[in-house]
A and B are shown apart, each in its own frame.
Chain A
């Protein structure tokens, strides 16, 4: 494999505005309920009355996530028809002609990236805006971000620039699939364990 493209996600400055999500929907004409890119809101914490004050011990941050085009994609491994495959640019993509819509990929992906297209009866997923990349443009989500927290590039370059963190809560350990993503954690991510944080916007993702 010559190239591996991926994303950099600066969670520390992500507001959760979901412009990336909307840009993805527009670019790919996605139906409601099908989110190739979505934003997880992590939030937890309690409040204590101290004197006359309410004092929070609350954390919150956002993780914008699409398909991570993993080095070891379980979706590809578990696809019974080879519809799900990885191309020479490292893009994991689904061949709709081969896909039988069995949804094994959806079940096996620890990131929930493949999404079922009910109209066509096949799987669908982020293809890294391959057409845009060909044109020398950034993927739609990256070009959209008002806070400029998303970046696209070859993984070697992204790692060199931003390090190799590829797991933050609520993502699974990076070792499982080796996701092609580098994440800068939000400062609150360090408190996730002590505060037992959870995804707080399940109804939105």
Chain B
């Protein structure tokens, strides 16, 4: 996941409601003093921590889990001996404790893992073989600097690339440190978008003209009916406390429906009803819901007329009057296929009666939320599923009201929410950017890539990627689609000529490094984080223990390279890690948190977090709802675009329809491919790890072992029972891992939780269960995003 900074007005942008925020945060400032006293009072009452030398509140290392939580870390003789969590008194819905999950609480196992990388190393075997030899920092830095210089001189800066990687979001640790480094010496090829939410990131603005389509979460308690569509906050968190807010909504009377191929942890804990749906068919069910609403006149026709375009032929945008409206599509006026619940049942596997009932319930239970998780859009036509959800919210009039939900990417109103990284990367003199998912294309055929491949900022690329500088990234091998393909590409030294990796462990990506540099963990340097997608807090991350062995922060490593390249002063601006954090706190003061305490006070208070209690949650599109003429949306029509003229002009109606349509996926149970590979795979998030981080953590492993989950119907056919080894394969790869037979997943679908470390045996068969040996590098039509969930496989007893 990577937040798009450009349209968020981070440091430089304008804040449209600054005064209101000022007033808000004023209360928070008073609160901070109050909390400090309260926390101190608790500490005074308790026994001194005689077992520890010091107890420090700090942020849980941000590995892009979807949460930003608080840890209370006890240190003795330079070692972390205990990890507790947020214990601020007064755990309220306005300002809840930021309780860490199983991964944060298991962190000591990762922190003191014997496999930590300890010294700089250089590759001695073939690339990817994983054979390394210890070298000095001097030799390592010399090599990195000289290779950067060599590649830059030979090809130009656009041959340099800092890949996607979400292992660290703590300012001085993480990918951003390398971006700043390369920007100081002429820049590098950029990327846009993310693996997590490519389609919703691109599609949402086509409907709403913005990505800020989410109410603040405290508003969820105002909802009467909540559809969790492929949304599983108990496992991916989606903001610390999201599951807790939903509990509060349910306690407040909301009915909760969970639509998901798996009976997820969230479904068990929160749902009144679980509705399994065949993956990749969400738009079909949404269309049938619209059919019921239209036929039974349950949609909000006043809202539709006043606030939207494209619903029916009378509301088409200028120049498109003759085109197929949304209603035309739903009723089958032109294609002859009414999108009835019967039609959808055959596609989705959801009973027609259920589809009709959910349509009626959602349309009539105002205010209601239809929250789209991100799984439905990491698929072949993820864009349409996003838009279809937004359209349902719109035609039921649930946009711009408390308890409603507009859908889409739903960044938090009214300012877009947390910033994530604010460590200044500097300007990149190379303008060209590729869609993040197409990096391997840029390795193979960068020079051929144009707008047709999603290139922006330049007409075409003038280089293939020749040098990769990977920091906190296991994306190259492990998390990108089609691992065997990625490994083949990267092992060819004539393509990418040099790979440097900063890492904490010998990950599958680290094995492909030419120079491998040992990074310290977040507990071993300074950091700062704000909330994830939601959240109104700043969390300070003081250095808790010393960096062990020869490890260094990513910032420190990049500083050494910068020195060798003659740009040290420019790179560091004379600041060390702690001084950067002091500087960045000031940046928060200039923007979201004018009253956040300066570093000294923040550190001395040992609260760890500065938060803004939310008593009156912001509602996305409230202004627009109040006065759609005065507060036009930033779409061509100024209204909600159910029919998008911009999409129409893409002139690719089969893949990018101007109204959301169900499109059969390119690997589907309805296609010929199903003869050979009859099972769909979902690579869902898993509490054992954060993407691939923690996969070597014995405590989370014990709690959530890696397995392939399949339904008894499919297991019996294959003679599989829980604990048996299952062979899962398609044309792209093979894995053999234990299986868990469970009725908590629907027949025809298996789950292989994503993020397990690729562990090929001598025959190339993965023995750990990295779902990406099965996934495809094919990208989605509009967003150029990942479709890693769209795959078919076969399973047999190994």
The distance in angstroms between the C-alpha atoms of A50 and B354, with both chains bound, is 12
| Cross-chain contact B82 with A56 (CB below 8 angstroms) | no
| B705/A27 in contact, CB under 8 A | no
How far, in Å, is B160 (CB) from chain A's closest CB? 40
Once bound together, how far apart are the Cα atoms of A43 and B743, in whole Å? Answer: 8
Given the known interface contacts A136-B45, A145-B99, the answer about A203 and B723 at a Cβ–Cβ threshold of 8 Å is yes
Contact with A along B79-95 (1 / 0, CB 8 A): 00011110100010000
Q: Are B698 and A32 in contact, with the CB atoms below 8 A?
A: yes
Which B residues from 716 to 758 make CB contacts under 8 A with A? 722-723, 742-744, 746-748
Q: A19-B102, A147-B243 are in contact. List 17 more A-B contacts (CB 8 A).
A: A14-B268, A15-B266, A17-B687, A18-B704, A21-B703, A23-B85, A25-B105, A26-B106, A47-B713, A50-B351, A56-B743, A56-B746, A62-B268, A146-B243, A147-B269, A148-B244, A203-B705
Interfacial chain B residues near A147, Cβ < 8 Å: 234, 243-244, 247, 269
Quick one: given A54-B747, A143-B84, A147-B269, are A17 and B102 in contact (CB under 8 Å)?
yes
Interface pair A16/B247, CB less than 8 Å apart: no
State the CA gap A26–B72 with chains docked (Å). 12
Q: Which residues of A contact B82 (CB under 8 A)?
A: 26-27
Q: A47-B743, A47-B747, A143-B84 are in contact. Are A19 and B100 (CB under 8 A)?
A: yes
Is there contact, CB below 8 Å, between A15 and B269?
yes
**Contact of B99 with A51 in the complex, beta carbons under 8 Å:** no
In angstroms, Cα B196 to Cα A17, docked, is: 22
Q: Does A109 contact B (CB under 8 A)?
A: no
Given contacts A47-B746, A52-B345, A146-B241, contact A22 B699 (CB under 8 A): yes
Asked if B47 lies at the interface with its beta carbon under 8 angstroms from chain A, I say yes
- Digitize B690-701: 1 where CB-to-A-CB distance is under 8 Å, 0 elsewhere: 000000001110
Inter-subunit contact A51/B345 (CB<8 Å)? yes
With a cutoff of 8 Å between Cβ atoms, the chain B residues found around residue A21 in the complex are 102, 703
Given contacts A22-B105, A25-B106, A204-B705, contact A140 B84 (CB under 8 A): yes
Point out the residue from A18, A52, A53, A148 that lies within 8 Å of B703, measured CB to CB: A18
Are B722 and A26 in contact, with the CB atoms below 8 A?
Answer: no
Shortest Cβ distance from B685 into chain A, in angstroms? 12
Hey, which bits of chain B sit against chain A, CB under 8 A?
A: 45-47, 82-85, 87, 91, 99-103, 105-106, 108, 234-235, 240-241, 243-244, 247, 263, 265-266, 268-270, 274, 276, 345-346, 349-352, 354, 687, 698-700, 702-705, 711-713, 722-723, 742-744, 746-748
Q: Which residues of A contact B346 (CB under 8 A)?
A: 52
Partner of A43, one of B84, B85, B244, B742: B742
A55 at the interface (CB under 8 A from B): yes
Give 9 pairs: A residue, B residue, CB < 8 Å, sorted on A.
A19-B100, A22-B700, A47-B746, A51-B351, A56-B743, A62-B268, A144-B105, A147-B269, A148-B91
> Contact between B263 and A58 (Cβ–Cβ < 8 Å)?
yes
Cα A38 to Cα B489 with chains together (Å)? 44
- Minimum CB–CB distance from A41 to chain B (whole Å) comes to 9
Cβ of A36 within 8 Å of any chain B Cβ, yes or no, is no
Asked if residues A47 and B247 are in contact (CB atoms below 8 Å), the reply is no
CB distance from A94 to the nearest CB of B (A): 20
Q: Give chain A residues whose Cβ lies under 8 Å from the Cβ of B742.
A: 43, 200
Residues of A within 8 A of B91 (CB): 148
- A40 lies within 8 A of chain B by Cβ: no
Hey, which chain B residues are within 8 Å of A25, CB to CB?
105-106, 699
Complex-state Cα separation, A52 to B281, whole angstroms: 14
With both chains docked as a complex, state the minimum distance between the C-beta of B84 and any C-beta of chain A, in angstroms. 7
Are A143 and B85 in contact, CB atoms less than 8 angstroms apart? yes
| Distance of A68 Cα from B747 Cα, bound (Å) | 38
Most buried by A among B100, B103, B106, B703: B703
A33: which B residues are within 8 A, CB to CB?
A: 702
Top 9 A-B pairs, shortest CB-CB distance: A15-B269, A22-B105, A15-B234, A15-B265, A135-B46, A52-B346, A53-B351, A18-B703, A22-B102
Q: How would residues 59 to 98 of chain A score, 1 for a CB under 8 Å from any chain B CB and 0 otherwise?
A: 0111000000000000000000000000000000000000
How distant is the Cα of A200 from the Cα of B740 in the complex, in angstroms? 9
Q: Does A3 contact B (CB under 8 A)?
A: no
The answer to whether the Cβ of A13 comes within 8 Å of any Cβ in the partner chain is yes
CB distance from A137 to the nearest CB of B (A): 7
| Chain A residues with CB under 8 A of B235 | 17
Give bound CA distance, A146 to B99, whole Å: 6
Task: Please measure, in the bound complex, the distance between the C-alpha atom of A47 and the C-alpha atom of B354, giving whole angstroms.
Answer: 16
- Any B CB within 8 A of the CB of A45: yes
> What residues of chain B lie closer than 8 Å to A18, measured between beta carbons?
102, 687, 703-704
A15-B265, A26-B82, A204-B705 as given contacts; A58 in contact with B47, CB under 8 Å:
no
Asked if A56 contacts B274 (CB within 8 A), the reply is yes
Instruction: Tell me whether A191 is interfacial, beta carbon within 8 Å.
Output: no
A135→B722 CA distance, assembly (Å): 44
- Verify B722–A203 contact, CB threshold 8 A: yes
User: Could you tell me the distance in whole angstroms from the C-beta of A108 to the nearest C-beta in chain B?
Assistant: 26
A residues in contact with B723, CB < 8 Å: 203
Proximity bits, A130-155, B CB within 8 Å = 1, else 0: 00001111001001111110000000
**Residues in chain B near residue A44, CB distance under 8 A:** 743
Report if A175 contacts B (CB, 8 A): no
Instruction: Report Cα–Cα, A127/B108, bound state, in Å.
Output: 22
Nearest CB on A from B600, distance (A): 29
Q: Is the CB of A46 within 8 A of B102?
A: no
Q: Name the CB-closest residue of B to A46.
A: B743
Select B744's contact among A32, A43, A53, A186, beta carbons within 8 Å. A43
Closest residue of A by beta carbon distance from B103: A22
Residues of A within 8 A of B744 (CB): 43, 58, 60
Most B CB within 10 A of own CB, among A140, A146, A204: A146
Closest-by-CB residue of A relative to B344 is A52
Q: Which chain A positions have C-beta within 8 A of B270?
A: 13, 15
Residue of A nearest to B98 (CB): A146
Tell me the minimal C-beta distance from B89 to chain A in angstroms: 11
Which residues of A have CB within 8 Å of B84?
23, 27, 140, 143
Give the contacting residue for A17; candidates B45, B101, B349, B698; CB below 8 A: B101
**Residues on B with beta carbons closer than 8 Å to the beta carbon of A46:** 712, 743
Determine the chain B residues whose CB is within 8 A of the CB of A26 once the complex forms: 82-83, 105-106, 108, 699
